[in-house]
Copies of this chain bind each other. A is one copy, B any other.
Amino acid sequence: MIRGHGDDRYQFDLPVKADFSSNVWYAGMRKELKAYLAEQIGEVDHYPDPGAAGLQQKLERSLDLPADAVLVTNGGTEAIYLVAQAFAGATVTIVEPTFAEYEDACKLYKHQIQYLSWEKLNSETAFSTDMVFICNPNNPTGQAIDEHSLERLINHNKHTVFIVDEAYIQFTHHTTSLIPLLKRLPNVLVLRSLTKSCCIPGLRLGYIAGRKQLLERVRAFRMPWSVNTLALAAGDYILAHPTAFEVKRETLLEETYQLWEGIRKMPEFKVMPTHTHYFLFETLTGTAEALKMWLLEQHGLLIRDASNFYGLGPGHCRVACQKPEHNKLLIAALRKWTLS
């Protein structure tokens, strides 16, 4: 975060027609959930369940996990910071380029950090560190490691704890969640977010799933009442209506491909392969910073300047698929950029 982030429209006094800078699904919050939350507003005159025990139990049942295999968190961010804190001072590998919070949290808690390039990650990789952070699919690259390779990797490194961030797992068909495999994977903590696919990042709701014994270490650092009443209500609602919140993956990935292909056709941009609904591209005729401001000021389109990710360069941008008509606006605007 301290090195910049997406969804930063609050920083600009400019109208935004379409926001490509956040990886939240463009579908928007479902109107039924919105109506439900409006009904629940009166409930904020009470304190929330301090340990989110009710939602924890519902998640455990829904995920077919035993008791105390889930820890509900104030967004994925609290999950990352709690894990870093629970393993303070450990040696850690961060598979990069990736979401900066792993590094920020590990620095705060005095980890000794090593970096491994995503390209060098395979099921035979041997780790000498106490922990490994892997975002799968990865942010910002959109790359995913399939669950079989990942399981082999984890089994190959039984003395290393794997923190697998599945914040975007619903947005790919290249991999599936490790949660059903937790029974045979004692050295894994899976981080999940309920907000990206349900389009409610403002409410802050995530969780960690893992073996009770490993999770206890993390739970010891969690303060009470960290998850607010409306986030808990949203969690209850989502679990009660699972099919309503399924990501329309085929359509979304097809639309992403159209956007990706539209940018790829312009030789002034280098587009990176992706397995999800967001991807990186590089402007070869300027900086990401300049392109971002030009798109915002001239076209009301907000993208993520990705130049501050570890391992990326000054031209790197990240975009997440938006509605087809908005994607067309971005392609048209980028064409103008190449002519300017």
The residues of A with any CB-CB pair to B shorter than 8 Å are 1-2, 5-7, 9-10, 22, 24, 28-29, 34, 37-38, 41-50, 54, 74-75, 77-78, 80-81, 101, 105, 108, 199-204, 220-221, 223-226, 228-231
Contact = CB atoms under 8 A, between A and B. Distances in A.
A84 to B, nearest CB: 10
The CB with the most chain B CB atoms within 10 A, among A7, A37, A46, A105, is that of A46
B74 A45 contact: no
Contact of A226 (B29, B47, B77): B77
A42 B29 contact: yes
28 contacts: A1-B50, A1-B224, A10-B46, A10-B54, A22-B46, A22-B47, A24-B45, A29-B45, A34-B42, A37-B41, A41-B41, A44-B202, A44-B203, A45-B202, A46-B201, A48-B204, A74-B74, A75-B225, A77-B223, A78-B226, A101-B224, A105-B223, A108-B220, A108-B221, A202-B230, A204-B225, A228-B230, A230-B230
A13 to B, nearest CB: 12
Contact of A47 (B49, B201, B223): B201
Contacts of A6: 47
Contact of A46 (B38, B108, B202, B228): B202
A7 B45 CA distance: 10
Given A24-B45, A28-B45, A5 B50 contact: yes
Given A203-B230, A228-B228, 18 more contacts: A2-B224, A5-B50, A7-B47, A10-B46, A22-B46, A29-B41, A34-B41, A38-B41, A44-B200, A44-B202, A74-B226, A78-B223, A81-B223, A101-B224, A202-B228, A204-B225, A204-B226, A228-B231
A44 B22 contact: no
Contacts of A46: 7, 9-10, 22, 24, 201-202
A37 B37 CA distance: 10
Contact of A43 (B24, B202, B225, B231): B202
The CB with the most chain B CB atoms within 10 A, among A5, A6, A48, A54, is that of A48
A156 to B, nearest CB: 32
Nearest to A203: B44
A196 to B, nearest CB: 11
Contacts of A231: 228
A136 to B, nearest CB: 21
A201 B45 contact: yes
Contacts of A37: 41, 44
